[in-house]
Structure 1
Amino acid sequence: MTARKFSTKDLQVSAFDPVTYLDSDEAIAAYLEIALAENDPVFLMAALNDVIRARGVADIASKAGLGRESLYKTLKPGAHPRLSTVLQLLGALDIRLSITPAKSARTAKKTASKKSAATKRARMTSTPGRPVQAKMAPKPPVTTKRTTKTAATRSRLPG
């Protein structure tokens, strides 16, 4: 039997284009939010390019006050557009950037729920009419001297 080499034509796959899935404002916002969370400017600009293609390049260029050719140059790989240009494009897309602390809201919610659970447990363990006593710090473990000799100590002993 002879070995046959496969090519990409044999696989019958097509290139993935996210533009086909960016059909709602929610999908576009989620897509750009994930791209922004990556902290990669190249990836963010590629995502912005996808969104602009989904909405129509000529329409977004006119809303942003840019020429279509200028917009293509701004979005091409390796370009470093100014923040003002990116904000113009986001405005034309009816999208607004917002700033939040690096600590995610999910982490803050978990911390708040842990604190409230600890408060509930403290309330349940206290006797009615008596204040809740603070727990004492755990005692350090008692250390005992080792009675067995290790190989290192045996080699130092005479005999």
Structure 2
Amino acid sequence: MNKTSRPHADAVIELLRDDPAFADEYLAAALDEADLPGGQAALLAALRHVAEAQGMAAVAERAGIPRESLYRALSPTGNPTIKTLLAVFNAVGLKLAVHRAIPA
């Protein structure tokens, strides 16, 4: 690999670590696109990036979830329960919100 390149996920995690407020916009965009093809996997990846930026072990502890379970829930094949999602959102300092969808 070229020394000037690095994986996209690493760059995103660094941005989230350097600017925690970016997590709000990043996850909001992922939520907005969750109903598109591949959107649910992208949402889980975005939530995983936020958790990794804050330290996966610390987020798991705050969420009351074993670290291995958190990795599994936020994996590309993960299928977390609403309880797990809410716990993780809370653990990273965010809350889900509801707003009326704009008609197409």
| Interval of TM-score (by shorter of Structure 1 and Structure 2) | 0.7 to 0.9
Which residue does the alignment assign to 2:27?
A: 32
User: Structure 1 residue 27: deviation in Å?
Assistant: 0.4
Q: How many residues align?
A: 96
Unaligned runs of 5+ in 1: 1-8, 105-159
Identity %: 33
> Alpha carbons of 1:87 and 1:14: their partners in 2 closer, same or farther (altered >3 Å)?
same
User: Structure 1 residue 60: deviation in Å?
Assistant: 0.5
Q: Residue 80 of structure 1 aligns to a residue in which SS? A: coil
User: Structure 1 residue 13: deviation in Å?
Assistant: 2.5
Which residue does the alignment assign to 1:128?
A: none
2:91 alignment partner AA? A
| Greater helix share, structure number | 2
Unaligned runs of 5+ in 2: none
- 1:19 corresponds to 2:13: yes
TM-score by length of 2: 0.83
Q: Greater relative contact order: 1 or 2 (C-alpha under 8 angstroms, separation 6 or more)? A: 2
Which residue does the alignment assign to 1:86?
A: 85
User: Structure 1 residue 30: deviation in Å?
Assistant: 0.6
Which residue does the alignment assign to 1:53?
A: 52
CA RMSD of aligned residues (A): 1.8
Question: Which is higher, the Rg of structure 1 or of structure 2?
Answer: 1
1:92 alignment partner AA? A
